[in-house]
Copies of this chain bind each other. A is one copy, B any other.
């Protein structure tokens, strides 16, 4: 008998028929002798409906009330799933964030979990009941409702699995695992049976939408095995686990991309100490998240430098305005913004022990006629910024060049 945390996303609970299917699946796990805690998201479309209502009232809704609003979506789905389980003959009980002491900081809209109570859930399991927990939501120490950001239910599930010392956290989703590349782009993309936390963390933060980044951080910190699998069939998915010895034998585990960033360049800035600090302080004050940063060494225009960085597309206009204000103060020559970019990345723990990965990546891309605008690397990933129109081509050629394409004979796997 194991303790299993199962998380179902919004598509899996998109209508009452699907909720009944989820209940049947949970009931089967229970019937196999396991204790189950279920975490659910809001029904598909519900969060968007609520967000739209907020924006009808205020283009910049205050965080506290925004969180009260959007957290109601999960309240609906936990109640319906508990009803469906009960109807299926499995006693169940729903819980909101505050009822299980899911304590977070007060950063409304993207709060971080600080602690999770386990008493209430353990008592529920001890009575032989299924606990159905609202994902995505918590409360701060003053009892205000907070939310964890898009994909936050993944983090709720892994945090609960950690707190309850569960044997596994199963993430049910509309894809059946983590792939070597987006299967919609790359025909030869293959499901990855086992992937390390570290690799998954890079993939999640580099644009792969299958798991929220923080959920992987939690999994890594508390060594919770995460099983990403399909909510529509029983097939084995992808396991996210501590790094294993054989993992380094593969140089590149996956290729991913992100079209949600924009590039801002501040050109011809006098190259004095403190300039970069002023630029990035002003972005931080506006709560704009900066991803990649490049400062070119001073070039032919003596004593001047170019500062280039990327921000989320939705922050691009605001960042551009901030930089334009700052440009005259700093004596910069020009500010440019470009939203038509994409970040393409290769990830793999094998890079630690294999040299020449970056060189090969640049060679492959330039060989296909692409110009690399920015580069960022870590121990286990290399990211490049290219023109957005080449995104799909770049992913395909890298996937093939690093030997990730499925053999024709097993392409149906």
Q: Which residues of A contact B (CB under 8 A)?
A: 16, 19-20, 50, 53-54, 56-58, 61-62, 64-66, 68-69, 71-73, 75-76, 78-80, 82-84, 86-87, 93-94, 96, 98-99, 143, 145
**Chain A residues touching B, majority SS:** helix
Instruction: Chain B residues near A87: list those with CB within 8 A.
Output: 57-58
CA distance A56 to B80 in the complex (A): 9
Instruction: Chain B residues near A62: list those with CB within 8 A.
Output: 82-83, 86
Top 8 closest pairs, chain A to chain B, by CB: A69-B79, A16-B56, A68-B79, A72-B75, A72-B72, A65-B82, A58-B87, A65-B79
B84 adjacent to A57 (CB under 8 Å):
yes
CA distance A58 to B20 in the complex (A): 10
In angstroms, how far is the closest chain B Cβ from the Cβ of A130?
12
Instruction: Chain B residues near A71: list those with CB within 8 A.
Output: 75
Q: Closest B residue to A59 by CB, please name it.
A: B87
Highest count of chain B CB atoms <10 Å: which of A16, A57, A66, A99: A57
In angstroms, how far is the closest chain B Cβ from the Cβ of A383?
38
Q: Closest B residue to A132 by CB, please name it.
A: B65
Instruction: Chain B residues near A96: list those with CB within 8 A.
Output: 68, 145
Instruction: Chain B residues near A72: list those with CB within 8 A.
Output: 72-73, 75-76, 79
CA distance A44 to B339 in the complex (A): 42
A78 adjacent to B68 (CB under 8 Å):
yes
A99 adjacent to B57 (CB under 8 Å):
no
Q: Which of B20, B50, B56, B143 contacts A99 (CB 8 A)?
A: B143
- Given A72-B76, A75-B75, decide whether A83 and B66 contact each other with a Cβ distance below 8 A: yes
- Given A53-B16, A56-B16, decide whether A83 and B61 contact each other with a Cβ distance below 8 A: yes
Assembly stoichiometry (copies): 2
In angstroms, how far is the closest chain B Cβ from the Cβ of A165?
24
Q: Closest B residue to A82 by CB, please name it.
A: B65
Q: Closest B residue to A134 by CB, please name it.
A: B68
Instruction: Chain B residues near A19: list those with CB within 8 A.
Output: 57
CA distance A98 to B61 in the complex (A): 23
CA distance A61 to B58 in the complex (A): 37
Instruction: Chain B residues near A61: list those with CB within 8 A.
Output: 83
B64 adjacent to A76 (CB under 8 Å):
no
CA distance A352 to B359 in the complex (A): 100
In angstroms, how far is the closest chain B Cβ from the Cβ of A234?
23
B99 adjacent to A83 (CB under 8 Å):
no
CA distance A53 to B73 in the complex (A): 13
Instruction: Chain B residues near A64: list those with CB within 8 A.
Output: 93-94
CA distance A314 to B83 in the complex (A): 22
- Given A56-B16, A57-B84, A58-B86, decide whether A79 and B94 contact each other with a Cβ distance below 8 A: no
Q: Closest B residue to A58 by CB, please name it.
A: B87
In angstroms, how far is the closest chain B Cβ from the Cβ of A61?
5
- Given A83-B62, A86-B62, decide whether A68 and B75 contact each other with a Cβ distance below 8 A: yes
Q: Closest B residue to A86 by CB, please name it.
A: B62
B57 adjacent to A80 (CB under 8 Å):
yes
CA distance A56 to B17 in the complex (A): 8
A83 adjacent to B57 (CB under 8 Å):
yes
Highest count of chain B CB atoms <10 Å: which of A69, A82, A83: A83
CA distance A309 to B76 in the complex (A): 38
CA distance A87 to B20 in the complex (A): 41
CA distance A94 to B143 in the complex (A): 12
